[in-house]
Structure 1
Amino acid sequence: MTSAGDRLFGRFDAVGAWRRLADASVNYSRDEVRRPAWNFDVHRIALPAEPPGPPTPTGSWTHARRMVRDYEFSPPEIVRALYDPTAPLLGRDMLLEARFNAIHFYCGVRVTEVVDETRDGTDHVWGWAYETLDGHLERGKVTYEVVKHGRTGAVEFLATSYSQGAPALGPVTSLGWRLFGRRTQLRFYRRCGQRIRASVEAALRGEPVPPRPARRVGDLVCAPSDAKAHRLDALAIQRISPA
């Protein structure tokens, strides 16, 4: 019998694609990253504030940290992720499903940095970053952080990135990326901010967040936990390599 988790990716062998990421490499060199060929983005979203000082155990920062840790902030209508929750966060491979209407692209990323530090003596920061792997639609790095400003009590979600479309996309994919890629990328960041703020506000009201356990595909977890299978997913055009 096919499980609900298996149906999340239609007929695509997502587990097999995830396993193959172990042999993939980051698809760019940091020496290449410079303007104007690359996009540099900083997206901030204010979360409910806390009293000044360190993060509180049941406060906004703690709830947001959990959402970032588990990739629960990602909007499932745009990007879903498949990963092994038992693997260490640093070095973790994630298979992302980027959904462009009836076309679903499967791209790999690897967590290459974990942030857990105090800045300016009072600001508590936790987060992580992933970089794109061979076959990804893009090249670049995204860092997601939750920041508690100790002096003021302000809390924010911060996404910083540099990126460009992968050069060898193929003619059809290149055209689609030029028309929709950048716009979808910015919409993704905007929706991430909206989702994490709504989730933190719900958690502070005492609601269960997320409301249900994440779906599983074999031993792997699909994030976010509210990702659902749709009847038309089986008819989507599914691409594991943009070329």
Structure 2
Amino acid sequence: MRRPSLADAVAALHDLPVNYDEAAAPPAVTAGWHIDRRVLELGREAPGEPEPGGLLETAGALVNNYEFSDPSILRAAFRYPGDLMGRDMLLEARFLVLRFLLGVRITTEHDEVRDGSRGPERVIGWSYQTLRGHLEQGRLAYELAKELETGRVEFRIVAYSRQAPIRNPVLRLGFRLFGRRTQLKFYRLALARLRGLVHAPPAPPRPGPDGLVRAPSGVEPGRFETFTLRFAHPGR
């Protein structure tokens, strides 16, 4: 019998629902949820709408391609090219020798002018929600904001999350002990990684023979497919 491939696992995400009730989540309900907001100034460009090829546009492409993720913690696979809105992404969470496949879906794309604390700002980016089988429940937004009057550009991570029900008692205990710590470390490293990448962005992503991009750049087929898929199947 053929062992499921990574492409099979990504395709299987299409039929999975979000794994929590949005009516019982922030902002309506905040008890029991982690509410996070991390912000980093990336630099400045000329005031006004984003410059073609400028800082905001460069950072936006990096965020859309999931280049900011630290591969020692989290890797991603998704079909490319394709629409950003509705994109299913298979995340491989890595902790010591453990690997977990987690499904998420981009459910909101951001491109609007908002009233910020320092005046109007152009905000771009996207948000994903966790799917059935994920170890967490919640929504995470990656936003880039440019202050139109000053040209200042920020990268923002805005999220709410909580642990999903986990049947395995050992896994449940391990996630309780290390999950939150790893999550906060991921935020910190993602901010720093993007700040470095905007000065030397990698080449645009190139899908493999299976039509998938593995992100961030430099992640090659290997344990992602052969080791993890044996033990972790999103949606179960």
Same fold judged by TM-score > 0.5? yes
What residue is the counterpart of 1:137 in the other structure?
Answer: 135
Equivalent positions of 1:145-160 (< 5 A) are: 145-160=143-158
Equivalent positions of 1:103-122 (< 5 A) are: 103-120=98-115, 122=120
> Contact (CA 8 Å) 1:214, 1:224: kept in 2 or not?
no
One-letter amino acid of the structure 2 residue matched with residue 27 of structure 1: N
Question: d(CA) in 2 for partners of 1:163 and 1:231?
Answer: 27
What residue is the counterpart of 1:60 in the other structure?
Answer: 55
Match of 2:24 among 18, 23, 32: 32
What residue is the counterpart of 2:232 in the other structure?
Answer: 239
TM-aligned CA distance change 1:238 to 1:12, over 3 Å: farther
Residues 1:22 and 2:14 aligned together: yes
> Contact (CA 8 Å) 2:127, 2:141: kept in 1 or not?
yes
Moved more, 114-123 or 79-88: 114-123
Q: Deviations over 1:133-166 (max 9, x none)?
A: 0000100000111110011211001110000011
Match of 1:49 among 24, 30, 44: 44
TM-aligned CA distance change 1:160 to 1:13, over 3 Å: same
The Cα of 1:227 is off from its aligned counterpart by: 2.0
One-letter amino acid of the structure 2 residue matched with residue 58 of structure 1: G
Question: d(CA) in 1 for partners of 2:69 and 2:196?
Answer: 12
Aligned residues: 227
Tell me the C-alpha RMSD between the 2 structures: 2.3
Question: d(CA) in 2 for partners of 1:172 and 1:159?
Answer: 30
Moved more, 184-193 or 210-219: 210-219
Equivalent positions of 1:191-210 (< 5 A) are: 191-202=189-200, 209-210=201-202
One-letter amino acid of the structure 2 residue matched with residue 162 of structure 1: Y
The Cα of 1:73 is off from its aligned counterpart by: 1.0
The Cα of 1:188 is off from its aligned counterpart by: 0.7
TM-aligned CA distance change 1:231 to 1:123, over 3 Å: closer
> Contact (CA 8 Å) 1:143, 1:160: kept in 2 or not?
yes
> Contact (CA 8 Å) 1:137, 1:169: kept in 2 or not?
no
Structure 2 residues not aligned, in runs of 5+: none
The Cα of 1:168 is off from its aligned counterpart by: 2.8
TM-aligned CA distance change 1:232 to 1:130, over 3 Å: closer
Q: Deviations over 1:185-207 (max 9, x none)?
A: 011111110111001123xxxxx
> Contact (CA 8 Å) 2:33, 2:162: kept in 1 or not?
yes
Residue aligned with 1:131, SS: strand
Question: d(CA) in 2 for partners of 1:152 and 1:71?
Answer: 27
What residue is the counterpart of 1:125 in the other structure?
Answer: 123
TM value normalised by structure 2: 0.88
TM-aligned CA distance change 1:231 to 1:127, over 3 Å: closer
Equivalent positions of 1:178-197 (< 5 A) are: 178-197=176-195
Q: Identical aligned pairs, as a percentage?
A: 43
> Contact (CA 8 Å) 1:95, 1:106: kept in 2 or not?
yes
What residue is the counterpart of 2:172 in the other structure?
Answer: 174
Residue aligned with 2:85, SS: coil
What residue is the counterpart of 1:216 in the other structure?
Answer: 208
Runs of 4+ in 1 over 6 A off after TM superposition: 230-233
> Contact (CA 8 Å) 1:138, 1:165: kept in 2 or not?
yes
Structure 1 residues not aligned, in runs of 5+: 1-10, 203-208
The Cα of 1:92 is off from its aligned counterpart by: 1.1
